[in-house]
Structure 1
Amino acid sequence: MNIVAKQATWKELFSGQNGLKAIALAAGVILHATDVFLATTIMPSVIDDIGGLAFYSWATTAYVVAAIIGSVLSSRNLLKNGPRTSYRGAIFLFTSGALLCAIAPYMYVFLIGRFIQGIGGGLLFALSYAMVNEVFEKRFWPRAMALISAMWGVATFIGPFIGGVFAEYSHWRMAFVTLAVIAMSLLFLTERILPKKLAVIDEKASLPWMQLMLITLAALTVSGGAASQHIILNVGSILIAGILLFWTVKLDKKANNRLLPRGSYDLTKTLGATYLVIALINSSTAVEIYIPYFFKVIHQYSPLLAGYLTVLIAVGWTTASILFSGISLNKVRVSILMGLSCLFIGICGLSLIMPSQDLSHTVFFILISICLLMIGMGIGIGWPHLLTRVLTFAPKDEGEKASASITTVQLLSTAIATAFAGLVVNLTGLIEPGGLAGTQNAATWLFGIFALAPFTTFFLLLFTWKRKKRISKR
């Protein structure tokens, strides 16, 4: 099946009505992505002000777990209420959460705000993917997916700039107020551009509540274990989360109302294998939330500089997504393997370079920038084509579910991986003994362990493709 032989050009994507549609989809992703980078940049300042270092990763986990709920809600919202009303509700939730974060006196209030924000952000993120399948012809899909990825690049400049400037002058709360203002500006755009209803409306669209509850509990269980200093609770949380996820998969396979399209759990099929690769690759990005903290403690970087170095990951991701979005189908597999190699080398490089204080400032700056760019490029090289394969190989009668499932898988893998990252650093010295030595040890272990994700994916894909090739020759 040739999905790129008659691929649309960038000029066609931005021409006439297609251009307005593209702007509408891109705007929602910009808001969600800006919040991710802004929060990553200001978290060290938040911890300094209201405390809660043991719950550092929870600020991201709470947001991402809530975003999973939002992503699952998105397909039902879209089918029942239409694009315009769905975006309106998402923006309202996002704004409310941002304002609660801005006034939070304690960490638990801040986490509640992040959770509310996450539901709105997940809705916005998933709706953008879902609308690609609805408003564009198939030949536009790779470019549209690449555009959505590119919006993370735009957010890399907006998010750290807003967060870094306010954190630099000890006004991190105003960063969330600014986000609320941006969200309300987006509302004016979507109210004028997006249609009220889809061509096909399903008033009886329902939600897979049981599966949604189980995956939420799984992510929160790992997060709870990560905040503890007891090894039994740490290991136990992982085992319980594994059981909950296994139960979710077993239930979803038999359910009439599923989280993922039919065939998603069969790893011998293209759809199932694609979901697994997306999850494993995306989990590698969980290390990103601790990079600003490592920069601050180990290398005494300012919040603004640390934030902008961190976004090199997104710059690499965005650049590679755009550059490789138009490659031919027969080169997709090779490009994915090449991306996994870059990802592995980049994370291994961080494991060796980040804890070191033996390098000169200039040499460290150059090497760490190369590693961060390689991580981003490793993800972005094959990302648009992985997403396009989901839409292409999903059952034709489950198009909306397939679109929303991209975000669900992406956010779920992020939530679990982020919680696991918190567990790793807390066990390897971030809290006890803490300080410079503890942070250096935590950085070494975190990056070293997470380098296993692209390494495993690389050989899993090689094995799967060779197996399919042998079967096809019989």
Structure 2
Amino acid sequence: MSTAVAGSGKPEPATAVGEGVDTSEAPSVFDRAHRLTTAGLLMLVTFVAFESMAVATAMPTAVAELDGLAWYAWPFSAYLVASVVGMVVGGDVGDRRGPRAALLGGVAIFATGLLAAGVAGSMAVLVAARAVQGIGGGIIAVSLYVVAGQAYEARLRPRLFGAISAAWVLPALIGPVVAGLLTTHLTWRLVFLGLLPLIALGLALVLPAVRGLAVPGPDAVAAPARRWWALLAGAGIVALQYAGQRLDLLAAGLAVAGLAALALGLRALLPAGTATARPGLPAVVGARGLLAGAFFGMDALLPLALTELHGYPAAAAGVPLTAGALGWATASQLQGRRPDWSRTVVLRAGFLLLAAGLAGTALITLPGIGGWPAYLTWAVAGLGMGLGMPSLGVLLLDQSPEHRRGADSAAFQIADVTGSALLVGVVGVLVAASVTGALPLSAAVLAGVAVLTLVAVGGAVVAPRAGARPALTGDPSVRAATLSAS
């Protein structure tokens, strides 16, 4: 596998997975050859992240104005299902027509969704607009990895993925606040419309820089049927999330149907062996699901636990999430400065730090201690994410051949969404059980912490497999065997 270096057109052999990288005279992601690409990518990530963080703040006002309270969950569900489809579309377009076409299409679709949401006169239009945004957002997420694989040599990828991770921090800190001010003092519509010129600016920066990237050759993968499997998987995720919000006979039926739909969809979308963490690409994809699921499962539970167990106001209950975001950004920058570190070692360290942060958060359930330990433990968990997420991005590009990079990046992102949704659903079932009186909330939180900690420990066990290269990966028949038929 070779990687095209931006600005040179010459291939540079990719560094073997898990090996050190010579950092002597290493270029920068902001040098002349890369600065426009980097700035454009980071702007796109920042603004997509801002919309993701801000929309939850604006949504209550939006649904009230549109007289759609009964549809409150639909804008979120529509985005989620559509984003899974968008990831597959982005992977297919990137593999067949190149990253420039995928990125241009993704941003155009996302911007169309923003415009439609901003002018929506009914709840049905808002839900449809969120679905359009989801398709665009999914395409953009996958395109980032395709661009990174072609435009940045191996030694720069740790720093690039560290910067991309850090680009989520500012939206996490100010997104809800800005959205609240716009919604309260002006209009919720600006949460969507206000991003349009900024998205256009990011695209204007990145498009000229990626114009010269390679167009796929005859080995490019084209699998339009994957989009239907993606829709099925997305519907399964939504069914599981909805089932997790209720404890009745309908919930049991929804859970069974959701699991069946998800299993069928993922079988066609993820590399064969992902569930068993087969060494190589399947382990990389599986580890992404474990890392995201363990973190975001607790990220969803923690504010509720602090509010209900200790009476914290909303602002104070959100502080640990900010601490986690800062820890994430700090560790992302640290690993980016050391591209010579073994990625599998860094990934395992990330999982172990996440497990330690999760286990320590159990202290908030003990009588008489209060919620203050979460301010520290969630920062530790954030450090783990800052080490783990960029390392997985590097490993993905090392494991994925160029002609499959779009499809493999889509599988990578789908594993993230699926892992997060499943474990947030587990947490939701535990919370619902506490609401019905089946167990105290403190016990539900403790059980959730235990499950998520075990997932993180499992990820630490899997981590070394993510750096292993299966034998004969260059053989097309072996490559084909590593992916389920679509």
For the aligned pair, the TM-score class normalised by the smaller chain equals 0.7 to 0.9
Percent of pairs identical after alignment? Answer: 22
With over 3 angstroms needed to count, the CA separation of the structure-2 counterparts of 1:49 and 1:451, relative to structure 1, is farther
**What is the deviation of 1:464?**
8.3
Aligned to 2:233: 215
**1:353 and 1:368 in contact (8 A); partners too:** yes
Q: Does 1:78 align with 2:94?
A: yes
Q: Aligned letter for 1:279? A: G
**What is the deviation of 1:5?**
2.0
For 1:281, which of 261, 277, 291 is the aligned residue?
A: 291
For 2:164, which of 127, 148, 155 is the aligned residue?
A: 148
**What is the deviation of 1:327?**
4.7
Q: How does 1:81-160 map to 2 (within 5 A)?
A: 81-102=97-118, 110-160=126-176
**1:354 and 1:368 in contact (8 A); partners too:** no
With over 3 angstroms needed to count, the CA separation of the structure-2 counterparts of 1:395 and 1:269, relative to structure 1, is farther
**What is the deviation of 1:123?**
1.4
**What is the deviation of 1:323?**
0.9
**2:365 and 2:445 in contact (8 A); partners too:** no
Query: Partners in 2 of 1:201 and 1:463 — Cα distance?
Result: 34
**What is the deviation of 1:130?**
1.3
Aligned to 1:255: none
With over 3 angstroms needed to count, the CA separation of the structure-2 counterparts of 1:413 and 1:460, relative to structure 1, is closer
**What is the deviation of 1:63?**
2.3
Aligned to 2:414: 408
Q: How does 1:161-180 map to 2 (within 5 A)?
A: 161-167=177-183, 169=185, 171-180=187-196
**What is the deviation of 1:40?**
4.1
**2:45 and 2:167 in contact (8 A); partners too:** yes
Q: Aligned letter for 2:327? A: G
Q: Deviations over 1:237-295 (max 9, x none)?
A: 33223323333354x3xxxxxx3457656623232222222101101214435656677
Query: Partners in 2 of 1:376 and 1:236 — Cα distance?
Result: 36
Aligned to 2:201: 185
TM-score after normalising by structure 2: 0.76
Aligned to 1:256: none
**1:4 and 1:139 in contact (8 A); partners too:** no
Q: Secondary structure at the match of 1:381?
A: helix
With over 3 angstroms needed to count, the CA separation of the structure-2 counterparts of 1:460 and 1:316, relative to structure 1, is closer
For 1:390, which of 381, 384, 396 is the aligned residue?
A: 396
Q: How does 1:356-375 map to 2 (within 5 A)?
A: 364=371, 367-375=373-381
Aligned to 1:472: none
**What is the deviation of 1:171?**
4.2
Q: Secondary structure at the match of 1:16?
A: coil
Q: Does 1:445 align with 2:444?
A: yes
With over 3 angstroms needed to count, the CA separation of the structure-2 counterparts of 1:162 and 1:327, relative to structure 1, is same
Structure 1's unaligned 5+ residue stretches are: 253-258, 470-474
Q: Does 1:318 align with 2:317?
A: no
**What is the deviation of 1:77?**
2.2
**What is the deviation of 1:220?**
2.4
Query: Partners in 2 of 1:352 and 1:141 — Cα distance?
Result: 37
Query: Partners in 2 of 1:425 and 1:49 — Cα distance?
Result: 30
Q: How does 1:432-471 map to 2 (within 5 A)?
A: 445=444, 448-449=447-448, 451-459=450-458, 461-462=460-461
With over 3 angstroms needed to count, the CA separation of the structure-2 counterparts of 1:354 and 1:119, relative to structure 1, is farther
**2:87 and 2:138 in contact (8 A); partners too:** yes
Query: Partners in 2 of 1:445 and 1:55 — Cα distance?
Result: 28
Query: Partners in 2 of 1:308 and 1:172 — Cα distance?
Result: 24
Q: Aligned letter for 1:163? A: A
With over 3 angstroms needed to count, the CA separation of the structure-2 counterparts of 1:337 and 1:196, relative to structure 1, is closer
For 2:33, which of 17, 22, 40 is the aligned residue?
A: 17
**What is the deviation of 1:78?**
2.5
**What is the deviation of 1:186?**
2.7
Q: Does 1:240 align with 2:257?
A: yes
**What is the deviation of 1:120?**
1.3
Q: Secondary structure at the match of 2:314?
A: coil
Query: Partners in 2 of 1:340 and 1:119 — Cα distance?
Result: 30
**What is the deviation of 1:455?**
1.9
**2:232 and 2:265 in contact (8 A); partners too:** yes
**What is the deviation of 1:395?**
4.7
Structure 2's unaligned 5+ residue stretches are: 1-15, 469-486
**What is the deviation of 1:23?**
1.8
Q: Does 1:225 align with 2:243?
A: yes
Q: Does 1:299 align with 2:312?
A: yes
Query: Partners in 1 of 2:42 and 2:285 — Cα distance?
Result: 23
Aligned to 1:32: 48
Q: Deviations over 1:9-53 (max 9, x none)?
A: 785221111222222222222222212221344456667777888
Q: Deviations over 1:179-202 (max 9, x none)?
A: 334323333334444317633356
Query: Partners in 1 of 2:124 and 2:447 — Cα distance?
Result: 31
With over 3 angstroms needed to count, the CA separation of the structure-2 counterparts of 1:172 and 1:270, relative to structure 1, is same
Deviates more, 1:25-34 or 1:326-335: 326-335
With over 3 angstroms needed to count, the CA separation of the structure-2 counterparts of 1:463 and 1:191, relative to structure 1, is closer
Query: Partners in 2 of 1:154 and 1:375 — Cα distance?
Result: 18
Structure 1 or 2: more helix by fraction: 1
Q: Aligned letter for 1:238? A: A
Query: Partners in 1 of 2:377 and 2:425 — Cα distance?
Result: 23
Deviates more, 1:1-10 or 1:45-54: 45-54
Q: Aligned letter for 1:324? A: Q
**What is the deviation of 1:69?**
1.4
**What is the deviation of 1:441?**
5.9
Aligned to 1:399: 405
Report the number of matched residues.
446
With over 3 angstroms needed to count, the CA separation of the structure-2 counterparts of 1:40 and 1:220, relative to structure 1, is same
Query: Partners in 1 of 2:35 and 2:373 — Cα distance?
Result: 39
Q: How does 1:342-381 map to 2 (within 5 A)?
A: 342-350=353-361, 352-353=363-364, 364=371, 367-381=373-387
Query: Partners in 1 of 2:129 and 2:292 — Cα distance?
Result: 25
Q: How does 1:201-212 map to 2 (within 5 A)?
A: 205-207=222-224, 208-212=226-230
Q: Deviations over 1:49-81 (max 9, x none)?
A: 778888776554432332221111112222444
Query: Partners in 2 of 1:160 and 1:419 — Cα distance?
Result: 23
**What is the deviation of 1:101?**
3.7
With over 3 angstroms needed to count, the CA separation of the structure-2 counterparts of 1:330 and 1:84, relative to structure 1, is closer
